[in-house]
Structure 1
Amino acid sequence: MKRVIWLLMVMFTYQVATAQDNKITWYSFEEVIDLVEKNPKMILIDVYTDWCGWCKKMDKDTFTDKEVVDYVNHNFYAVKLNAEDKNKKFEFRGKEYSEETMARAMRVSSYPNFVIMDAAMENITQLPGYREPKPFVAALNSLLDNFKN
């Protein structure tokens, strides 16, 4: 019986440990401004609100999927941007923005919404709405393929 309990504890500990390693590296908008200058890479901005149920579902189901985590971390700088946060301020291209005013400047009007920027920090496109893991990776992959050609 002790062996069974010990084995279950080891399995549980392993699952918790691997789940913690399987995360998207999220940056603030201002961190990405510095990062992209040093190492150019495309940017994936998750524009969300605190009340958005589909945003929470993306966080829980899609952004914890190993394939999504690996793909996003390898190909993008990922940013979380709260479309209703008036307090978090940063400077971008000589202007001061809050996360709310940046979301408006990017013309985001539904949530969740994923704004894709190139390494020059120009908006390329938006992917609005909830996405399951495989279709999300497929959409990002298609976008990258089209952008490279």
Structure 2
Amino acid sequence: MRKIVLIAFTLFLGFAAQAQEEIKWMKFEDAVAANQENPKMLLVDVYTDWCGWCKKMDALTFKDPSVIDYVNDQFYAVKLNAEDDNRTFDFMGKKYSEAEMAAVMRVRSFPNFVIIDPTLKNITQLPGYREPEQFLEGLGYIVKKGFRGQ
């Protein structure tokens, strides 16, 4: 009986550890600071609270283990609410709200994923909902291409 309880507990811990794995989302300014210490591309998920496709990305694509591993390995991941005028941060000597930063990045549809290279120049956008495979394909193309703000 004791062995069964021990096996069940071990399995439970394994599932619990696996279920806790997620993308390490950061605030914009924290990703910029981390980039200064260890340069990497930033992946900025620009969303709104009312966007159904944004919620679907969160529920499905961003829960996919392959997406989680790839994003955490290759990028500093940022969540940016395109309608938040309250939270502000400094970037390149100016103060921005999240909404102002989304506008500066020319985001007009949601969800939208802005890739910023390690020199902090916008590179490209991946607009719209994407299944895990499509999302990885789009990100992989950018990483393979080796964009460096050119």
What residue number does 2:140 align with? 141
Conserved? CA contact 2:40–2:74, under 8 Å: yes
What residue number does 1:50 align with? 49
How far apart, in 1, do the equivalents of 2:82 and 2:147 lie? 29
Spell out, residue by residue over 1:107-143, the C-alpha distance to the aligned partner (whole angstroms, 9 max, x if none). Answer: 0000000000000110000000001111111110111
2:83 match: secondary structure: coil
Runs of 4+ in 1 over 4 A off after TM superposition: 3-13
Amino acid in structure 1 at the alignment position of 2:15 = Q
For residues 1-149 of structure 1, the aligned pairs below 5 Å read: 11-20=11-20, 22-147=21-146
Amino acid in structure 1 at the alignment position of 2:16 = V
1:80 match: secondary structure: strand
Spell out, residue by residue over 1:8-67, the C-alpha distance to the aligned partner (whole angstroms, 9 max, x if none). Answer: 7764553233111x2001110010121111110001000000111110110110111000
Spell out, residue by residue over 1:71-96, the C-alpha distance to the aligned partner (whole angstroms, 9 max, x if none). Answer: 00000000000000111100111111
Which 5+ residue runs of structure 1 have no aligned equivalent? Answer: none
2:80 match: secondary structure: strand
Which 5+ residue runs of structure 2 have no aligned equivalent? Answer: none
2:139 match: secondary structure: helix
**Aligned pairs, how many?**
148
1:141 match: secondary structure: helix
How far apart, in 2, do the equivalents of 1:89 and 1:148 lie? 28
How far apart, in 2, do the equivalents of 1:47 and 1:96 lie? 18
Conserved? CA contact 2:46–2:79, under 8 Å: yes
2:110 match: secondary structure: coil
How far apart, in 2, do the equivalents of 1:148 and 1:34 lie? 20
Over the matched positions of the two proteins, sequence identity in percent amounts to 53
Conserved? CA contact 2:117–2:147, under 8 Å: no
How far apart, in 2, do the equivalents of 1:19 and 1:141 lie? 25
Conserved? CA contact 2:43–2:76, under 8 Å: yes
